[in-house]
């Protein structure tokens, strides 16, 4: 017979006979570091994650700003119009003066 099949059949027979030698029992978890050290590192990790999220949000905002400015440059608008959608009140923006037509 095939070696792999023999091994499988022997393991199956051992389980049916009640032998648990082939099954490893779960080991108790051991602490690798003290609770104080773990808490300190955990808090540092959480702070780092918050900072990363803030940096990602800023990066996304800046990427949108660059795309906006590139699109305006490509459409022929002057450099004086760069602040239209960033910081100017809605009635100061081109096309949003409240006038129709």
Contact 92, 80 (CB under 8 A): no
Structural domain includes residue 70: yes
Q: How remote is the C-alpha of 98 from its chain's centroid? A: 42
* Averaged pLDDT, groups of 10, the chain, 101 residues long: 76 75 66 89 97 97 96 75 53 53 48
Report how many domains make up the chain. 1
The terminus-to-terminus CA distance of the chain in angstroms comes to 88
Structural domain includes residue 29: no
Provide the residue range defining the domain that includes 70: 34-76
Contact 86, 79 (CB under 8 A): no
* Mean pLDDT, the chain, integer: 77
- Can you tell me the distance from the alpha carbon of 56 to that of 62, in angstroms, rounded to the nearest whole number? 10
Structural domain includes residue 87: no
pTM over cut 0.75: no
For the segment 14-41, what is each residue's pLDDT rounded down to a tens digit? Answer: 777 776 555 566 677 777 888 899 999 9
């Amino acid at each position: 017979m095939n070696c792999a099949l023999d091994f499988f059949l022997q393991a199956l027979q051992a389980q049916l006979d009640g032998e648990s030698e082939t099954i490893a029992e779960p080991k108790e978890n051991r602490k690798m570091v003290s609770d104080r050290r773990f808490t300190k590192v955990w808090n540092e990790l959480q702070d780092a994650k918050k900072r990363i999220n803030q940096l990602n949000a800023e990066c996304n905002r800046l990427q949108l700003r660059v795309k906006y400015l590139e699109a305006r440059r490509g459409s022929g608008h002057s450099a004086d119009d760069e602040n239209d959608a960033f910081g100017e009140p809605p009635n100061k923006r081109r096309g949003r003066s409240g006038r129709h037509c």
